């Protein structure tokens, strides 16, 4: 008899690795509170463009062009006020410095426009000057060195094999390829990437999730509550169960505390959440 060979089950497509060097500068004063995300392998342009387009709400074809040619993208004005800043992709014509991308907030964008008007600088150059002067001095110094001044002995062997840094993304966002942690009521640290995944985990809409992580505050969910504090422009999220939320509301009534302060007090007095907080601090 002949045996019929069955096809091996197809492996799910592996997500591309976008960064193999990540350094946290989020404790620095805003707006220079960035996370440096770099890659030493050759750039996967299609994957890189797709992820940045999703992260920054920029059309994929525009992002692909920016990552190929460099330049700036000013978010379109949708009303009487400009509410979004400027995306920048800087490519060294000599090919010595790695490709770099970042976003200017509205204040920085206005400063860059002022440099353009006052000194006749190209917008990309003005945006670069504004962005660089807000960064931590240590980071500015390291950006002038080859591979951020990192010796091969300081890098993971797999990273060092990649050679020189090919691109750097200065990120502050919450995207599928840039994960963040949420402290749960039982002390677990749950990692989510992207607003859609975060919203699905907590049973809220994407719009509710976006408002929470961009503005901070609380969001009630089936008797429980999500609390988000914005620290140096970065969202820190914890979820509290019904009992914990009830204790916080009692503190609001009895001590006149703000609900966020009351939730913080409840979290600090909860052994499981305190253990989670310590683990979170060790990861940062």
In this predicted model, what pLDDT tens digit does every residue of 21-42 receive, in sequence order? Answer: 888 887 788 889 898 999 989 9
Question: Kind and range of the H or E element at 144?
Answer: none
Residue 189: pLDDT band by 50, 70, 90 thresholds?
confident
pLDDT at 160: 61
Cis amide prior to 140 (ω within 30 degrees): no
Cβ atoms within 10 Å, residue 221: 15
Chain centroid offset of residue 9 CA: 35
pLDDT at 284 exceeding the cut of 60: no
> Which of the two residues, 252 and 30, has the higher pLDDT score?
252
Please tell me what DSSP assigns to residue 162: T
Nearest alpha-carbon partner for 265 in 234, 230, 238: 238
Nearest alpha-carbon partner for 241 in 223, 254, 258: 223
**Of 57-61, 93-97, 227-231, the least confident:** 227-231
Nearest alpha-carbon partner for 88 in 50, 117, 62: 62
pLDDT at 192: 84
pLDDT at 6 exceeding the cut of 90: no
**Of 21-30, 178-187, 188-197, 271-280, the least confident:** 271-280
pLDDT at 283: 54
pLDDT at 136 exceeding the cut of 80: yes
Nearest alpha-carbon partner for 57 in 92, 19, 103, 10: 103
Q: Return the half-sphere exposure (C-beta side, CA atoms, 13 A cut-off) of residue 68.
A: 10
Cβ atoms within 10 Å, residue 139: 17
Contact between residue 181 and residue 171 where contact means Cβ atoms under 8 Å apart: no
Cα angle, residue 193 at apex, residues 192 and 195 outer, rounded to 5°? 95
pLDDT at 217: 94
Partner residues linked to 13 by β-bridges: none
pLDDT at 125 exceeding the cut of 90: yes
Nearest alpha-carbon partner for 65 in 46, 84, 51: 46
CA distance to 138, 206, 214, 217, 218, per residue, from 211 (Å): 33, 9, 5, 9, 10
Share of the chain above pLDDT 70, in %: 83
Question: Once rounded to an integer, what is the mean pLDDT over residues 266-270?
Answer: 91
pLDDT at 62 exceeding the cut of 60: yes
Most confident of 99-108, 151-160, 176-185: 99-108
Give SS3 for 222. coil
The token pair that represents 199 in the structure block: 């919203």
Give SS3 for 89. strand
Contact between residue 255 and residue 245 where contact means Cβ atoms under 8 Å apart: no
The token pair that represents 183 in the structure block: 């402290």
The token pair that represents 111 in the structure block: 């400063």
Strand pairing class (234-240; 180-183) = parallel
pLDDT at 157 exceeding the cut of 70: no
Share of the chain above pLDDT 90, in %: 51
Question: Once rounded to an integer, what is the mean pLDDT over residues 64-87?
Answer: 85
> Which of the two residues, 84 and 80, has the higher pLDDT score?
84
> Which of the two residues, 226 and 82, has the higher pLDDT score?
226
Please tell me what DSSP assigns to residue 43: P
What is the tally of helices (H) and strands (E) in the chain?
A: 11, 11
The model scores a pTM over 0.75:
no
Contact between residue 98 and residue 167 where contact means Cβ atoms under 8 Å apart: yes
């Amino acid at each position: 008899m002949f045996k019929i060979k069955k096809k091996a089950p197809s492996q799910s497509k592996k997500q591309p690795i976008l960064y193999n060097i990540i350094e946290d500068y989020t404790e620095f004063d805003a707006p220079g509170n960035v996370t440096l995300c770099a890659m030493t392998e050759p750039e996967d342009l299609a994957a890189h463009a797709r992820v940045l387009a999703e992260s920054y709400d920029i059309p994929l074809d525009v992002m692909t062009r920016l990552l190929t040619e460099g330049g700036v993208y000013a978010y379109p004005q949708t009303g009487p006020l400009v509410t979004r800043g400027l995306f920048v992709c800087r490519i060294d014509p000599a090919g010595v410095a790695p490709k770099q991308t970042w976003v200017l907030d509205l204040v920085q964008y206005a400063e860059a426009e002022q440099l353009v008007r006052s000194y006749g600088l190209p917008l990309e150059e003005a945006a670069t000057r504004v962005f660089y002067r807000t960064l931590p001095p240590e980071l500015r110094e390291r950006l002038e060195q080859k591979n951020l001044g990192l010796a091969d002995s300081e890098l993971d062997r797999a990273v060092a094999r990649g050679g020189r840094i090919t691109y750097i993304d200065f990120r502050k966002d919450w995207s599928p390829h840039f994960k963040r942690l949420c402290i749960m009521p039982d002390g677990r640290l749950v990692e989510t990437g992207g607003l859609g995944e975060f919203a699905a985990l907590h049973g809220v809409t994407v719009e509710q999730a976006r408002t929470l992580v961009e503005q901070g505050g609380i969001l009630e969910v089936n008797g429980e509550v999500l609390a988000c504090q914005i620290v140096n422009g970065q969202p820190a999220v914890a979820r509290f169960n019904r009992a914990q939320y009830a204790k916080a509301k009692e503190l609001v009534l009895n001590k006149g505390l703000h609900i966020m302060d009351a939730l913080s007090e409840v979290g600090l007095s909860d052994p499981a959440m305190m253990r989670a907080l310590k683990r979170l601090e060790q990861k940062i």
